[in-house]
Amino acid sequence: MLYRTVTLTLPSALRLENRSGLERPSRRGWRGRGREARAIADLLHAAKGSRGGVLLVEGQSGVGKSRLLAEAVDTAAEHGFLLARGVADESSRLRPMEPLMSALGESPHSLRAAQAELRPDVADVRLWLVERLQARLEERVARGPMLVVLDDLHWADPTALLALRSLVPELASYPLVWILSRTTGDDPGSAERLFDFLEAEGATRIALRLLDAAARAEIATDILGAEPEPDLLTLADQAGGSPYVLTELYEGLLDEGAVEIADGRARLTSHQVPQRVQTVVRRRLDRLSPRTRHVLEVAAILGRSFPVDDLADMLGEPASALLPELEEAQTAGVVTPDGDLLTFRHHLMWRAVTEILSRPVRLALHRQAGEMLLARGGSAIPAAGHLMRYVRPGDKCALAALDQAVQEVLPTSPQTAADLAARAVELTAPTDLERFDRSVTAVYALTAGGRLAEAAELARTALAQTLRPEQAARLRYELAYALMLAGRPADAITEAEQALAEKNISDELRDLAEHVLFRALFVGFDHRSGRDRAEAVLAHPERHGHPVLVGANMLLIHVMWTDGRAAEAFDYAREAVRVAASGPIRAQHAHPALHLGALLTNVRRLDEAEAALRAAEEEITALGHTVQAPSPALFRARVRLNADRLDDAVAEAQAGLAMADELGVRAFVLMGIAVLALVAVRRGDLDTAARQAERHDSLYREGQGVLYGGVWGTWIMATVAEAQGDLGRAMDVARTCYTDPMKRSWLLMVETNAAPWLTRTALATGHRSAAEDITTTAGELAAANPEFRSLAAAATHAHGILHGDGEALARAAASPDLGVWGRASAAEDLGALLARHNADRTAVIGALEQALDGYQRGCAPRDAARVRARLRDLGVRRRHWTSAERPDTGWAALTDTERKVTALVAQGLTNPQIADQMFISAHTVKFHLRQVFRKLGIASRVELARLATEHHPETDTA
- For the residues of 813-870, what is the DSSP string, one character each? HH-TTSHHHHHHHHHHHHHHHHHHTT--HHHHHHHHHHHHHHHHHTT-HHHHHHHHHH
Residue 418 has pLDDT above 50, yes or no: yes
pLDDT category at 346 given cuts 50, 70, 90 is confident
pLDDT for residue 800 is more than 90: yes
CA distances from 427 to 371, 394, 399, 431, 545 (A): 17, 6, 8, 12, 36
Spatial distance between the Cα atoms of 859 and 632, rounded to a whole number of angstroms: 24
Query: 229-238, 589-598, 883-892: which has the minimum mean pLDDT?
Result: 883-892
What mean pLDDT is predicted for residues 120-147? 79
Hey, which of 37-46, 329-338, 560-569 has the most confident mean pLDDT? 560-569
Domain 12-210 fold: Rossmann fold (3.40.50)
Q: Are 44 and 79 in contact (CB under 8 A)?
A: yes
Residue 274's pLDDT band (boundaries 50, 70, 90)?
very low
What is the tens place of the pLDDT at every residue in 843-852?
999 999 999 9
Q: What is the pLDDT of residues 448-471, one digit of tens each?
A: 887 888 999 999 999 998 899 999
912 pLDDT more than 70: yes
Q: Which residues of 562-592 are buried (b: 16+ CB within 10 A; e: fewer)?
A: bbbbbebbbebbbbbbebbeebebbbbbbbb
| Mean pLDDT, residues 521-532 | 79
Q: Which CATH number fits the domain 891-956, given the four candidates 3.40.50.880, 3.40.50.11260, 1.10.10.10, 3.20.20.30?
A: 1.10.10.10
Strands 176-183 and 146-151: parallel
* In the chain, domain spans: 12-210, 214-275, 280-357, 891-956
Of residues 888, 889, 865, 886, the one with CA closest to residue 877: 865
Q: Quote the pLDDT of residue 278.
A: 52
pLDDT mean across residues, the chain: 84
Rounded Cα–Cα distance for residues 63 and 183 (Å):
9
What architecture (CATH level 2) is domain 280-357?
Orthogonal Bundle (1.10)
Residue 474 scores a pLDDT above 90 = yes
Q: What is the pLDDT of residues 197-249, one digit of tens each?
A: 899 888 889 888 767 777 778 878 888 888 888 888 776 665 556 676 677 77
Residues in the chain, overall count: 958
Query: Which residue, 32, 42, 31, is CA-closest to 9?
Result: 42
Residues 939, 13 contacting (CB under 8 angstroms): yes
* Stretch among 255-269, 628-642, 796-810, 876-890 having the lowest mean pLDDT: 876-890
Return the H-helix or E-strand segment holding 266.
strand 265-268
Least confident of 135-139, 289-293, 568-572, 731-735: 135-139
Whether the pLDDT of residue 264 is over 90: the answer is no
pLDDT tens digits along 597-648: 999 999 999 999 999 999 998 888 777 777 788 899 999 999 999 999 998 8
| Least confident among 48-52, 262-266, 644-648, 675-679 | 48-52
For 462-501, give the DSSP string. HHTS---HHHHHHHHHHHHHHHHHTT-HHHHHHHHHHHHH
pLDDT of 4: 26
* Residue 830 scores a pLDDT above 60: yes
- Rg of the chain, C-alpha, whole Å: 33
Percent of the chain's residues with pLDDT above 70: 88
- The whole-number average pLDDT for the span 501-513 is 89
Confidence of residue 29 (pLDDT cuts 50, 70, 90): very low
SS3 category, 702: coil
Q: What pLDDT, on a 0 to 100 scale, did the predictor assign at position 802?
A: 97
Q: How many Å apart are CA 593 and CA 615, to the nearest integer?
A: 7
One fold for 12-210 and 891-956: no
Alpha helical stretches, state H, 201-335:
213-224, 230-239, 243-255, 277-286, 290-301, 308-315, 323-331
Contact (CB, 8 A) for 700 and 709? yes
List residues bridging with 717 in a β-sheet: none
Query: What amino acid occupies position 606?
Result: L
pLDDT of residue 929: 86
pLDDT at 121: 58
What are the backbone angles phi and psi of residue 86, rounded to the nearest 5°? -135, 155
pLDDT reported for residue 934: 86
pLDDT score of 230: 83
Quickly state the pLDDT bin for 266 (edges 50, 70, 90).
confident
Which residue did the predictor score with more confidence, 874 or 662? Answer: 874
What is the pLDDT, as a whole number, of residue 882? 45
State the Cα–Cα distance between residues 690 and 667, nearest whole angstrom: 22
Please enumerate in sequence order all residues whose Cβ is within 8 A of that of 504, keeping only pairs 6 or more positions apart, or say none.
469, 470
Which strands form 204-207's sheet, in the order they lie side by side? 82-87, 146-151, 176-183, 53-59, 204-207
- pLDDT tens, 362-402? 888 998 998 898 888 778 888 888 887 677 787 888 888 88
